[in-house]
Structure 1
Amino acid sequence: MLTKFSITHLPARFRFLLFFLFFFASRLALYAQSPAANIDGQSSFTAKLINIEAATSETFRYNTTLHNGSGKPAVFEFKANLPIGWMISYKVDGNQVTSLNMDAGTTRDVSIEVNAAASTAPGKYKLPLKAIANADTLSLNLEAVVKGSYGITLTTPTGKLSEELTSGSHKEIHLEVKNSGTLPLNDIELSSQLPSNWEATFEPVKIKQLEPGKTLAITAKLKVPDKTIAGDYAATFTATNSNGNSQAAFRMVVTTSLLSGWIGILVILAAISLVYYLIRKYGRR
């Protein structure tokens, strides 16, 4: 038959031994977590991934760890030897820094963001970094593989960005989407920003893929509402995908239709005739 066990049933010497073992184990765990436990004289600057591939216009992001293994606090200053035109930033807890003050035995995560120059050719580039504290210099050699660039351009076949329309009419506007980069563009969508009540549809509506250097013709079918007041209007067409966008801003000149003009003239003539008739009939009285 099983009986309920209690530590109070043990002899006093065994209870003291268990208490001592528990106290020793807890102190050992606290020591292992304390900075002093990490003072081994071996400071380090490491990265989870040292080689990252991205396009020229994208940011290379590296997750690194800086460890101060010395027995005293230290201020580590970050240095980098990058290709001309490249930019780098260091972030700790979301804040941008150029140096880091660290207590003895501590470890900090450092996020590093690198941006290549716009004119960078595809290839592999070495990024030597250093964290320097007094006589202690920690080196970290990263690599950035530039796979090319994304570029998208929206324009017209002739370069003309103005059109004349009449109130209540339909107009086809011819556009061109060009891949001006060195990487394929996928899922390009067309959109428009128009005056109130104007409408536009595109043919094709979406471009599945456009290879580098290629150009695709787009037709925008524009509808101008009836009774639109004559004047100048702005219309913007946009080609967008996940890697960028391009806009074509048009000046739209709306005129009244020929029929509306003749109707206006007839109304004016009728008004003049009515005035003349009234003068002839009642003017002598």
Structure 2
Amino acid sequence: MKYFSFFLLTILFTQTVWAQEGITVCGSSDAENTELFASLADDPTFRGKHDLVKYTHENARGEEITFATPDGQQGTAYYLEAKEESNQYLLVIHEWWGLNSHIKREADKLHKDLDNVHVMALDIYDGKVATTRELAQKYMQSVSTDRANAIINGAIGHAGENAEIATIGWCFGGGWSLQSTILANEQAIGCVMYYGMPVQDMAQIKEIETDVLGIFAEYDGYITPQVVEEFEQKMKEADKKITVHMYEADHGFANPSGSRYDEDAARDAYDKTLAFLKERL
């Protein structure tokens, strides 16, 4: 833990120096945010907070679809169509394991509970699903910000210019849920982020065009209450609406397969998530 604290402070100090010198990282602040979160996986304590999902997803109700991405490639998603004609979409972003059975099951559940919404669980890893912590670390740290943005923009394009888009994600996907909302711009109608890295760059925060629901854990040693408080304050300074719920739990508390699963907190967080989304979808 001491090593990680020194490592993180080094990153933050370096970024401050670069900012003073006018140097950018990968050309954009969203890249900095992505890489800062990915760097957490270098710490064995952070990796140890993630337990591999132990169950499989049976009787899946969705299907795999492909869509064009702006970089000339194809993106994939686990897709559940709305029961009736609808222009409302929920983009679901996976944890650091990838688009696995757990996330597909969550997509099924959200699709059922939201009644008449298109649900797209995006594959940010382009087909790779981790079976070990080491692979999860490798896949998360190999994500290109440009490619992830292309996948998300491709999904937004697939939904169409008249679509109303909400987003949700956990951990790695929590941060990308917020980035997806920024990319959706005026089409965004709601963002839910579970213990993901918040944006701290005010220029990006000002681009958020919808309400944000933040679900965080008090005992998360990485996305700490202090990090969340800073994000919440900046959102308010930018006149953006944010609701934060801080649970007496640890990182990953909503994943039922993990050793840090907190049933009461997870149920309450899901109820709040569903109420938030139903109000907007």
Q: Considering the TM-score relative to the shorter chain, is it more than 0.5?
A: no
TM-score range, shorter chain: under 0.3
Which protein shows a greater Rg? 1
Asked which structure has the greater RCO (Cα within 8 Å, sep 6+), the reply is 2
Determine which structure has the larger strand proportion and give its number: 1
Determine which structure has the larger helix proportion and give its number: 2
Q: What TM-score do the two structures reach when normalised by structure 2?
A: 0.20
Q: What TM-score do the two structures reach when normalised by structure 1?
A: 0.20
